Amino acid sequence: MTDTTHPAGSTGAAAGSGATATASISTAFPPPADERPYSPGLEGVVAAESSIGLVDGKNGRLLYRGYPIGQLVDRGTYAQVAELLWTGEWRTDAELHPSPISAGVVTALRQLPRTASPMDALRTAVSVWGAEQNLPWTPTVDQARAITSFSPSALAAFGRLRKGLEPVAPDTSLDLAGGFLQQLTGRDPDRAAARALDAYFIVGAEHGLNASTFTARVITGTRSDLASAVCGAIGALKGPLHGGAPSEVVNQLHQIGSAERAESWVRETIGRGERIMGFGHRVYRAYDPRAAALRQVAEGMAGTADWLRLAVQVEDVVLRVLAELKPGRILKTNVEYYAAAVLQGVGLAPELFPATFALARHAGWTAHCIEQAAANKLIRPDMRYVGARDRDLPAA
């Protein structure tokens, strides 16, 4: 039996054959003209105005409230940078210290399997913290300070629990980076390692309207609370197309092994159509300024000289071969490459790299939430429907 398709509002008795009915639908209900521009992934669409950060990809610049990232890494601390992002003011007395986590958060983390992703654990901890805090909608700087101080302690607790160790109470006299290392290891942090991690937090704090920041602003725009916005941002950052892969850079350098093997490995990898991690960026068409800042930090770290020397040698080979084999594309070193050097140098396990990036990004996420709420408008883009029209279900 042939199914009969009827114009909307008609009955089966009046419809005739399926072909005739379909033609009548097309005549009676022509698709509405929609000349609005469509940009897949919203690429190139200006969806917000912000005074927080400028990503100047063409010229390889990154500014926080007008200050270049190199100066901020060289002369600032993460606490000072976070305060700058939240308030627009440069305060030399700004401080952020790790805060204790509640018994409820620890209980939730204990329930997770040890094989759980640290990103999942961080998202879970922030969700529990948000439920306990019962935050009102309008996000504030105090709320931003609180969640930014909480999350390193939560991630460190899970980092220990997954190894069968008990969480360590934070030393609240330390800054966030040092406190995170202290809670992970149970020992006083090495001063140079803490400073290097603090520099990593600075370069990771803010990067325009990227996917996770956009997610945080969308959630804030619905008048949901700050913890919900950060949970959503963590979920977006977890995706491999956004969160970066400094851990994959580490694996890549281990595969290469020596400077002598670098060129053959690079050519074979490109020949297979595979990506070389740590190179190329959707926005930057020049050397990533965050990579330049972290390279200087890595060069000043004790204990990473051999590994860093290999990284520098491999970088030179990759850039030369990419320029030869892909002359039409601008593929420069990005932040992930030297983030790997810093994070490995301070002793973090590679599986903690993405979640540590999320800790750094807390300052920027929450700054954008505050800015979004100040002149809030629900973020609700439209879509163009391209599916079937005016169908009736088959007769019973």
What CATH number is given to the structural domain containing 173? Answer: 1.10.580.10
SS3 333: strand
Taking Cα atoms as reference points, which of 363, 349, 376 lies closest to residue 87? 363
- Asked if residue 273 and residue 211 are part of one domain, the reply reads no
Structure tokens given for 279: 């190179």
* Secondary structure letter of residue 68 according to DSSP: E
pLDDT, mean of residues 101-111: 98
- Asked if residue 287 and residue 219 are part of one domain, the reply reads no
Supply the pLDDT for residue 344.
87
Neighbours of 258 (CB within 10 A): 10
13 burial (CB, 10 Å; 0-12 / 13-18 / 19+) is exposed
Taking Cα atoms as reference points, which of 362, 371, 374, 379 lies closest to residue 180? 362
Does residue 16 register a pLDDT over 50?
no
Supply the pLDDT for residue 285.
63
Is 387 part of a structural domain of the chain?
Answer: no
Structure confidence by residue, pLDDT tens digits, 138-166: 999 999 999 999 999 999 999 999 999 99
Does residue 349 register a pLDDT over 70?
yes
Q: How far apart are CA 292 and CA 59, in angstroms?
A: 14
Do the Cβ atoms of 307 and 344 come closer than 8 Å? yes
Is 4 part of a structural domain of the chain?
Answer: no
Taking Cα atoms as reference points, which of 283, 286, 270, 281 lies closest to residue 318? 270
Angle between helices 78-87 and 176-185 (to 10 degrees): 130
393 burial (CB, 10 Å; 0-12 / 13-18 / 19+) is exposed
Do the Cβ atoms of 29 and 390 come closer than 8 Å? yes
Residue where a domain terminates, one of 325, 344, 363: 344
- Asked if residue 359 and residue 337 are part of one domain, the reply reads no
Q: How far apart are CA 359 and CA 314, in angstroms?
A: 29
Supply the pLDDT for residue 50.
97
Q: How confident is the model at residue 244 (pLDDT cuts 50, 70, 90)?
A: low
- Tell me the range of 193-197, 364-368, 382-386 where mean pLDDT is highest: 364-368
Q: How confident is the model at residue 208 (pLDDT cuts 50, 70, 90)?
A: very high
- Asked if residue 151 and residue 82 are part of one domain, the reply reads yes
Structure confidence by residue, pLDDT tens digits, 278-317: 887 666 667 888 888 988 888 888 777 777 788 888 988 9
Is 259 part of a structural domain of the chain?
Answer: yes
Q: How confident is the model at residue 328 (pLDDT cuts 50, 70, 90)?
A: confident
Q: Which of 281, 315, 362, 371 is catalytic?
A: 281
For the chain, the average pLDDT equals 88
Q: How far apart are CA 177 and CA 306, in angstroms?
A: 24
The H or E element containing residue 324 is: helix 305-325
pLDDT, mean of residues 366-383: 96
Cα-flanking dihedrals φ and ψ of residue 62, to 5°? Answer: -135, 120
Neighbours of 185 (CB within 10 A): 16
Q: Which residue has the tokens 């969806």?
A: 47
Structure tokens given for 205: 């704090």
Q: How confident is the model at residue 23 (pLDDT cuts 50, 70, 90)?
A: very low
- Residue 268 is a catalytic residue: no
Does residue 368 register a pLDDT over 50?
yes
Number of domains within the chain: 2
Do the Cβ atoms of 163 and 169 come closer than 8 Å? no
> Residue 339 belongs to a domain with what CATH number?
1.10.230.10
Do the Cβ atoms of 181 and 189 come closer than 8 Å? yes
Supply the pLDDT for residue 17.
41
Fill in the amino acid letter for 299.
E
Q: Residues 301, 306, 311, 313: is their CA dihedral positive or negative?
A: positive
Q: Which of 83, 206, 336, 371 is catalytic?
A: 336
Supply the pLDDT for residue 337.
86
- Tell me which of 230 and 31 has the higher pLDDT: 230
Does residue 131 register a pLDDT over 60?
yes
Q: How far apart are CA 260 and CA 276, in angstroms?
A: 17
- Asked if residue 271 and residue 138 are part of one domain, the reply reads no
The residues, ordered by sequence, that sit 6+ positions from 263 with a Cβ below 8 Å of its Cβ are: 317, 321
Does residue 325 register a pLDDT over 70?
yes
- Residue 336 is a catalytic residue: yes
The residues, ordered by sequence, that sit 6+ positions from 91 with a Cβ below 8 Å of its Cβ are: 80, 83, 84
pLDDT, mean of residues 35-46: 88
For 93-133, the DSSP string reads: T---------HHHHHHHHHS-TTS-HHHHHHHHHHHHHHHH
Taking Cα atoms as reference points, which of 33, 43, 96 lies closest to residue 282? 43
Supply the pLDDT for residue 30.
64
Residue 176, domain extent: 53-244+352-374
Is 26 part of a structural domain of the chain?
Answer: no
Q: How far apart are CA 111 and CA 314, in angstroms?
A: 42
Structure confidence by residue, pLDDT tens digits, 68-103: 999 999 999 999 999 999 999 999 999 999 999 999
Does residue 5 register a pLDDT over 90?
no
Supply the pLDDT for residue 287.
80
- Asked if residue 269 and residue 130 are part of one domain, the reply reads no
The residues, ordered by sequence, that sit 6+ positions from 37 with a Cβ below 8 Å of its Cβ are: none
Q: Which residue has the tokens 């972290």?
A: 294
Is 32 part of a structural domain of the chain?
Answer: no
- Asked if residue 204 and residue 295 are part of one domain, the reply reads no
Across 311-333, b (16+ Cβ under 10 Å) vs e yields: beebbebbbebbeeeeeeeebbb
SS3 8: coil
Is 28 part of a structural domain of the chain?
Answer: no
In degrees, to the nearest 5, what angle opens at C-alpha 211 toward C-alphas 210 and 217?
Answer: 90
- Asked if residue 258 and residue 288 are part of one domain, the reply reads yes
Q: How confident is the model at residue 1 (pLDDT cuts 50, 70, 90)?
A: very low
Q: How confident is the model at residue 395 (pLDDT cuts 50, 70, 90)?
A: very high
Bridge partners for 54 per DSSP: 63
- Asked if residue 265 and residue 233 are part of one domain, the reply reads no
Q: How confident is the model at residue 114 (pLDDT cuts 50, 70, 90)?
A: very high
Q: How confident is the model at residue 31 (pLDDT cuts 50, 70, 90)?
A: low
